[in-house]
Every structure is written in structure tokens, then in C-alpha cells.
Amino acid sequence: MWRHAPRADDGPVTDIITGLQMSPLELLALLGTLALVTARWLPPAARPPVTIAAGSAVVLSAIVLGVLGIRWQLLPVLAAAALALPFALAPLIRRLVRRRIGSRPARRARWWVALPGTVVCVALAASGPAAAWAFPVPVFPEPTGRFAVGTRVLQWTDPDRPETATPDPGDRRMVVVQLWYPARQSPAGTRRAQYLGRTEPEARTVAEGLARYVGLPGFLLDGAPRARGRAVPDAPVADGGERFPVVLFSPGLGGVRTQNTAWAEELASNGYVVAALDHPYDSATVVLADGRTVGTAVTSTGDDEEDNARAAETARIRAADLSFILSQLVRLDRAGGDGPLAGRLETDRAAVTGHSLGGAAALQAARQDHRFAVVVDLDGYPRDPERLPLPQPVLALTQAIGPGTDPRYLPRLTEVLKLSTSAGYRLTVPGAAHLTFTDAPLYLPPVPSLVGSLGRTESTRVVAAATLAFLGATLRHGPGDPAAGDVSRDLASYGELTVHRSADNH
């Protein structure tokens, strides 16, 4: 079965072999290398044609990949080919020389002398597909909703708020936001949106910033900038004049606006407009419209009390960002036909969501700004120091609570959910880890402690489906609407559900 993982440049779409996570050219280089390595062990009559064919395949695929861009995962394969090629060609050259000068046949190396080299080369070649499997080019799932998906990136400046991360008193807070929205179906072959950025250079800058933020070598994440999502940049909004509920999203600490692209595309295909934020000086790397790159200014001090205070302040700034972006979306909707989304945004039915620290910011934004009708917290520890009621229904999706979980997390989250004067839901997703609630399972090694044990595609499916079940019952339809369904029943199908209803809380 073939899957499609497009490159980030203007070159051809790269097909990915399921499981191996290698393109046809990469697979050709791998098979050619293995043939070169094992040619010595073939019957004498088969060695010359196999060596020539395999060598040609490796050289040609390496040249083409060199033009398109060689992934680091293929370097061990090419190293094995470089080691094997001289030994594979030497017998052919000697045979040719013997025919010309009539010398006696040279003796072949003993098998026990050749075996260690063969083992080393096979091990090198095998490490290539293993690395490609561990760090693949992410393949985004096809959205299941009835709408195609469009996307666009905007940047807004809040004239009323100074930028506290810089010493310049004239700086004002800027926020980059990416919208995913229901769109018309684009013609076949239309280029889809670059993952992690508007362009390939921006995507690579962001990927390197993310790797640097978590302490990884930048090359390990070089697959992510090669990917494209399922949305089409600046696609026309869906026909019909329907107005779409708005969902704002704040990423985790150091996270970026695109970190939940699969989730956002699935929501948009089901009739929502998702607005995901980059928070400058907090997100790992933000590329502004003028080309400037802003890195994170958030660092750990090693002092829990000080770090908690900094996290609370960061959540406060993010909450203000979320309210500002909602105001901008209200203006965008009222643009009088000047923008493609004018008159199509249901801004009085808005959800505020976030992952990790973004979830904390979402909770705080909802408490301060009652224009937000519902809240979704994706495994975020609440940071708001105030203990005030939340008038909105709240859904908290969490990983399994275990011995390694901060013992303060569950009591604090339960306290916040009980403050909801509507209903508070905690859905514990079996097999989930903290990064399950992002795109990370699509391109990081499937290590359960890192990305959970649900699998690459199931992780994104479960998180999006649970979110849609909650939004459908609380935001799109509302209480008492027969179409809303039973939110408790629907959520319980995705994990262990705990409900705190207003009658129980107050």
C-alpha cells in the first residue's frame, strides 16, 4: 500500500512506503546497496550483472536525491554502498584486465575474511530504514468531514499592550495566527500547505528552533519541514453562506501554531474555523511577516517556585493574546465583504483551547473573557492563581495519571473542573502521553513514554474525535438541542470519563 508524503519544496510529491517510511528513490538506493554488499556471495555467473545493475541504481538514485535533498537517514545506506562498491567492482576490473593481458585468475578473499565486511555493510544499510521509521516525514491523515480545508496566516499587533519581553518601550505585542477553515474543493494537484511554516525556509527555521528548544540535534527533525498538510493555502471559503463556530488554540510551552495541524484540519473539515497562535518570545521560534525570527525568551531557572511564577505569568500573557485574537476575528467577520471570511465567522460561539501551558492559558482566558463559550484543555496544568467560577462547560483531555505524574496536577485540575458552573469533564485517554495531544506521534519515534502507545494515526484521530464530540454538543448545538446528543456517552467511548456537573459542584 502506498501513502503520500509531499516534499516541502516545489519538487514532485514523494511516495512513502508504509512501514519503511522511505521514498521509491531511497528504497532503490537501499536495495542497490544490499545487492552490492551481497554480490560477493552469489554464484560466479550472477555477480557481474548484479554488481553493474546495483551499482548503477545506487549512483543514479544518489545523484537524483542529491538534487532533491538527501535525508540524513539515507547517509548510512550510502556509506555502506561506498564501502561495498570498490570490493564489488574489483573482481570485474581484474577479470577485464586478465582478458586483455592473459594473466592467471587472481584468488578470491577467503569467506571468513569477507564476512566481517559484509556484516558491517549490512548493518549500516539496515540502520537507514530504521532511522527513517523512527523519524519519518509526517503523513497527515485525510480529514473526514464534509468540507475541504483552506488555511491562511495573519499577523496582528495589539496597540494597547506593550511587549514585555523586549526593553524597547515602543514595542507592541504582535501575534501570528494561522486559520484553518471550511473551503471549496480545490482542483486535483493543487499544492497543499507547507507544514511548520509558510515556506520551506520558514519551516526549516521552525523545525530547528523546536529541536534546539528540546535539546535535540536539528537534523533529527528534518523530516517535518518536508511535509505538507491537507489544507490548501488561501483556498476560497466553502459555498453556501454558512457561518462557522470559531475555535482558538494556544500551543504548549515552546510550541508553535502548527503543532496541532492534523487536529485543526479535522475540525475545519467538520465546519469549524480554527485559529492557532504563535506567541512571540514564548513559542520556540516565530517567523514574523517581515522575515524576522523571534526565539523563545522562556528559560528554566531550576527553582520550582520561580518557574511556577514564570509559567503563571506566561499563561496570563497568552490569555490576553487569545482575547485579542478573538476581538480581531470579530473585526474580520465584520469586514463588510473585504475579506474572504467576512460574514462567515460565528464569533459569538467561540471555543478556547490549548495544549499543556496553552491549556492553562485557555482556562484563564475563559475565566476572564466570557465571550468564550466553551473550553478544551489538552493535558494542561491550570496556572491561574485565582479561584473563580468558570461559566463555560470545560473538557480536559489527559494522559493516564501514574506514579510519574506531578501529584499536584489531578487535585488542581479537579478543583478547576468543579468551578465550572455548567459542567466539567475529564477524559483520560488510555495509552496517551503528553505529546499524544499534538502532531508529534506523526514524526517522532513511537516510544510510549514520549508519544503514547496509540499509534501514529490513531493518536490524532482520538484527540480530534473527542474534541469534536464535545464541541458538537456544547458549542455547535447547545444545551437542549436534540441534535446535540449525549456528550457524556459520546466522550466515554474514547476513554475514562469523570463528570463534575453544576448540581454536584454548587
Same domain for 130 and 176, yes or no, is: no
Is 39 part of a structural domain of the chain?
yes
State residue 123's pLDDT score. Answer: 94
Model pTM score: 0.89
Same domain for 363 and 474, yes or no, is: yes
Is 13 part of a structural domain of the chain?
no
Mark 431-469 as b/e (b = at least 16 C-beta within 10 Å): bbbbbbbbbbbbbbeeeeeebbbbebeebbbbbbbbbbb
Same domain for 112 and 157, yes or no, is: no
User: How many separate domains does the chain show?
Assistant: 2
Q: Can you spell out the DSSP letters for 279-320?
A: -TTTSSEEE-TTS-EEE------S-HHHHHHHHHHHHHHHHH
Q: pLDDT in tens for each of the 506 residues of the chain? A: 223 333 333 333 333 444 567 889 999 999 999 999 988 888 888 888 899 999 999 999 999 999 988 999 999 999 999 999 888 887 777 777 666 665 555 555 566 667 888 899 999 999 999 999 999 999 999 999 999 999 999 999 999 999 999 999 999 999 999 999 999 999 999 999 999 999 999 999 999 999 999 999 999 999 999 999 999 999 999 998 899 999 999 999 999 999 999 999 999 999 999 999 999 999 999 999 999 999 998 877 788 888 888 999 999 999 999 999 999 999 999 976 567 899 999 999 999 999 999 999 999 999 999 999 999 999 999 998 888 889 999 999 999 888 888 899 999 999 999 988 888 999 999 999 999 999 999 999 999 999 999 999 999 999 999 999 999 999 987 655 655 568 888 999 999 999 987 655 55
Is 466 part of a structural domain of the chain?
yes
Same domain for 68 and 171, yes or no, is: no
Is 90 part of a structural domain of the chain?
yes
Question: Of 75, 110, 134, which marks where a domain is finished?
Answer: 134
Same domain for 357 and 217, yes or no, is: yes
Is 278 part of a structural domain of the chain?
yes
Domain that holds residue 31: 22-134
Is 396 part of a structural domain of the chain?
yes
Question: Of 106, 134, 162, which marks where a domain is finished?
Answer: 134
Mark 396-424 as b/e (b = at least 16 C-beta within 10 Å): bbbbeeeeeeeeeebeebbebbbbbebbb
Report the CATH number at residue 395: 3.40.50.1820
Q: How far is Cα 267 from Cα 251, in angstroms, rounded to an integer?
A: 16
Same domain for 53 and 155, yes or no, is: no
Strands 285-287 and 293-295: antiparallel
State residue 99's pLDDT score. Answer: 67
Same domain for 83 and 189, yes or no, is: no
Same domain for 336 and 438, yes or no, is: yes
